Structure 1
Amino acid sequence: MTGDTYPAARIVAGAVEQYFAQCRAAMPGFPEIAPAPDGQTIEQIATTGFWASLRQEEGRSPKISLAWVPPEQAGHPLRFARPFPLEPGLLARLAPAVERPGIHLGVWEHGGELYVWGTTRSIPPACFVLEVVQPGLLVIKRRRAREDGKFANVAVLHGDQVKMVDERGGDLPAGMLNTSPLLAFASTRSWTDSVNVVVQLALSMRTHGHGGSLLIVPRDSDEWRRSIVHPINYPAEPAFTGLSSLAALEPDEEDRAEWMDAVRRAVDQVAGLTAVDGATIIDDRYDLLAFGAKIARSRGSAPVERVVVMEPVVGARPAVVEVSELGGTRHLSAAQFVRDQPDALALVASQDGRFTVFYRPPGQDTVHAHRVETLLL
């Protein structure tokens, strides 16, 4: 390698190389598996992406997705007449043309050097992808087996911080799996089984950037109303079923793309309401009940002071912290809501990109806070 180095890329390269090697070994006989990058390639791509993220073109920071894939495995790519050497200035210049979701710059090796050969929307399973999210923030991902599913996050590099995602560390306790919303966060591996509505809501909430709270309550109970200030600012009467009716469908494969597009539009419609001051409330079948709702501590309930925080990151351990360490009023009210309504789930997006899922395990008084922004980037 030549030029400036990026220590975080060097630190993570070995672990990421091993991860992708294991991915290939776990998919024997699967057609068109992407090649696994070696540690030096990973370090060079991440380093170049990092320095590109600190540049600006016309006052804008670049957002780029780089895929380690040869043109022959990229479906019907747009190929440049000649490949360009992989370097930060090139990435910053090309970023405006490829910043929309689903478009990748293809990177491959020739003569011992890495080159950008073109752009593609199609990449094979287990493909290494580096996404430049914002200045100094990179996410290493891989494409799952289903091309229409969310990519799996492998590692997050933020400045000098490195977080390797623990695919098992994201698992919730088995006793929590009796309610459908919690199945969405039961395991990071479950995110690719189908269109995961709760995860899509979380992604959309995080994307709008205003921060917000989403409460998911049982359909067959009105107990949650005891923890809400009345009258509710914006109740839905009758409940809005636009998202729930789509989520209940099981489309044929030929209709899947159209159905997924409709689900995403409905998700954005509901998630957009969380930008309004107050909490948005849906039931566990995704019927919209209200938005702009104010949370209140139930009569006779003890206030929440501490929560158990967990994060699906290698080496992370549960820690008991003051609720104020997680955020402000939005986090405190969400923690109080699930303390008083143990059958509910609360999703909280912060304006700075943090995302927390609050729940109360069966038989416990302690509220748990599941930090999942490393999975949503």
Structure 2
Amino acid sequence: MIGKSTYQAARKVSKTMEQHFAGQIAEARLRGDDHVATAPRAEIIEAMIDAAFWASLRREEGHSPKISLAFLPPDQAVQPLLFEHHLTLSPSVLTKIGPGVERPGIHLGVWYEKDYLYIWGTTRIIPNFCFVLDVPEPGLLVVKHRRQDGFGKFVNVAVLLGDQVKIVKEQNAQVPECPDLLNSLLGFSTLSAWNQSLNVLVQLAVSMRAHKRGGILLVVPAGTEEWRQSIRHPMKYSVGPAFSGLAELMLKNEDEHEYSWQDDVNRAVDALAGLTAVDGATIISDRYELFGFGAKIKRREGCPLVEKIIVTEPVVGGEAMVDHPAQSGGTRHLSAAQFVHDQQDALALVASQDGRFTIFSWSACEQMVLAHRIDTLLL
């Protein structure tokens, strides 16, 4: 039944989520997009979050459920699997059915009749801006929606962890006296950018985080060799000539971007991201050419030690702050910050084993390294 939740965070975030999805769907329809979902009401969002949260704390045969709920009627899905009898949306039902639907890409379809919420079946294909609630681990819920182009990672809107609620900003986070600074970060912090053409670095970040071993990916300008001054030589796993498998895929015409191409890109991204699990840094160009992996970062000759960085997070209330690089993480973070400090036209993507993910770039206006935490975008 649709009613008041016992999970306070559900009540806290539901109205904001209602406004977000209603706005996104209305804008999409104004642009002529007819393949959009139905916007959920706040009380429905609250009930779905409440049921999913309490289900996440239960165990079935020793395992916690990993489920994905999508709010849509069966006629908005493509080739849905329909249950003969509707299932009540409740923690006990979600826990029982969880083992059968935990594989990536499977959503439990949720709809309502009067004040009764029910599960009608499963689907893999959902409309644009469909409200999706993922439960990746106990006590952790992620509100997201499908990308408008239908390819790549879903767009995260909010993350709920216990009593903590993080709502992703729809606009770039602001750094003092430099309002346009984060535009240089390839739109990582804007929801609109995640709805545009494929962002390969986003896909690489997701894949790096997924292997759970931690790693560093250095992105350097193509056609230059200056980055080598910040790497210890010989580089143990140097690649020569540079491997251009992913680069060649990204050069294909837009008309050639079909499902086979998407599969090829996914495989190439996973293969490259897998190299970051090797101790040391993986180095690619901004055209996605691979130069090597397992590289050891060193301070460039004549450059000072990095002592201060600006730390930001693209969530509501996540204000920029100045801190020592050692406070943002371990040795990976410190060496990545030093690399960007010395190679100011480069980016460094750093994954921690605990799931944290940071992008380091150079702030020209602040003359300081920027550390942008994007965990909330990658869950």
TM-score by length of 2: 0.94
Shift, 1:177, TM fit: 6.0
Q: C-alpha separation between the residues in 1 aligned to 2:327 and 2:139? A: 24
Instruction: Report the equivalent of 1:369.
Output: 371
**Could you tell me how far apart the structure 1 residues matched to 2:35 and 2:223 are?**
46
Q: Does 1:190 align with 2:193?
A: yes
Q: Is the 8 A contact 2:312 2:373 kept in 1?
A: yes
Partner of 1:6: 7
1:274 corresponds to? 276
Counterpart residue identity of residue 228, structure 1: I
Counting aligned pairs with the same residue, the percent is 55
CA contact (8 A) 1:184 1:199 kept: no
Q: 1:258 maps to what in 2?
A: 260
Deviation (angstroms), 1:191: 2.2
Contact 1:184 1:198 in 2 (8 A): no
User: How far apart are residue 189 of structure 1 and its match?
Assistant: 1.9
Return 190-199 or 42-51, whichever deviates more. Answer: 190-199
Report the Cα distance in structure 1 between the residues aligned to 2:95 and 2:368, rounded to whole angstroms.
47
Task: Name the residue aligned to 1:144.
Answer: 147
Distance across 2 between alignment mates of 1:69 and 1:214: 38
1:196 to partner: Cα distance: 1.3
Q: Which amino acid aligns with 1:330?
A: R
Distance 1:371 1:214 in 2: 15
Aligned position for 1:232: 235
Output the CA distance in 2 between the equivalents of 1:352 and 1:106: 31
Distance 1:266 1:171, change over 3 A: farther
- The residue aligned with 1:24 is 25
Which residue does the alignment assign to 1:57? 60
Report the CA distance shift for 1:225/1:323 in structure 2 as closer, same or farther (over 3 A): same
* Structure 2 residue 286 is the aligned partner of structure 1 residue 284: yes
User: TM-score, normalized by length of structure 1?
Assistant: 0.94
Deviation for aligned residue 1:30: 2.8
The 3 A distance-change label for structure 1 pair 260 and 294 is same
Cα pair 1:309 1:368 within 8 Å, conserved = yes
Counterpart of 1:38? 41
The structural deviation recorded for 1:143 is 2.1
8 Å Cα contact 2:216-2:276 kept in structure 1: yes
Question: Matched residues in 1 for 2:218 and 2:173: separation?
Answer: 20
Q: Which residue of the partner structure matches residue 328 of structure 1?
A: 330
User: Is the counterpart of residue 353 in structure 1 residue 322 in structure 2?
Assistant: no
Unaligned ranges ≥5, structure 1: none
Of the structure 1 ranges 48-57 and 139-148, higher mean CA displacement relative to structure 2 is found in 139-148
Which of 67, 73, 78 in structure 2 is aligned with 1:75?
78
Q: Name the CA shift for 1:170/1:79 in 2 (closer, same or farther; >3 Å).
A: farther
Q: Give the letter for the 1:166 counterpart.
A: K
Could you tell me whether the CA contact under 8 Å between 1:149 and 1:194 is conserved in 2?
A: no
CA pair 177-26 structure 1, distance change in 2 beyond 3 A: closer
Instruction: Tell me if structure 2 keeps the 8 A contact 1:169–1:311.
Output: no
Partner of residue 342 from structure 2, selected from 325, 340, 351? 340
Paired residues, number = 373
Aligned to 1:95, the other structure's residue is in SS state helix
Find the aligned partners of 2:346 and 2:297 in 1 and give their Cα distance.
Answer: 13
Matched, 1:156 2:159: yes
CA contact under 8 A between 1:34 and 1:127: conserved in structure 2? Answer: yes
Give the CA deviation at 1:334: 0.2
Distance 2:243 2:167 in 1: 39
> Any gaps of 5 or more consecutive residues in structure 2?
none
Aligned to 1:214: 217
* Counterpart AA for 2:140: L
Structure 1 residue matching 2:218: 3-state secondary structure = strand
Residue 116 of structure 1: aligned partner: 119
2:102 paired with 1:99: yes
